[in-house]
Amino acid sequence: MNKKRAISIASSPVMANVTCDGLPIYIESVDENKATAKIHYLQQPEKRLEVPLSSLIEH
């Protein structure tokens, strides 16, 4: 996923259909300098990760 789209999704009040490793996620924030996103899995909100933007797929 490109940076601009990830930032747009993270700042939008509308939930987007995004996955990481095939699992639905929520993008909490985007670090533009590192090209990463802080996410959590929808089924495991307590499990927060920082992942490369390239691992995020919008459906």
Q: Any idea what the CATH number is for the domain that residue 53 is in? A: 2.30.30
Measure the CA–CA gap between 2 and 43, rounded to whole angstroms: 24
Ramachandran angles phi, psi of 14, nearest 5°: -90, 130
Q: What range does the domain containing 10 cover?
A: 3-58
Mean pLDDT taken over the chain: 97
Q: What's the whole-model pTM score?
A: 0.93
When divided into structural domains, the chain yields a total of 1
Per-residue pLDDT reduced to its tens digit, 7-25: 999 999 999 999 999 999 9
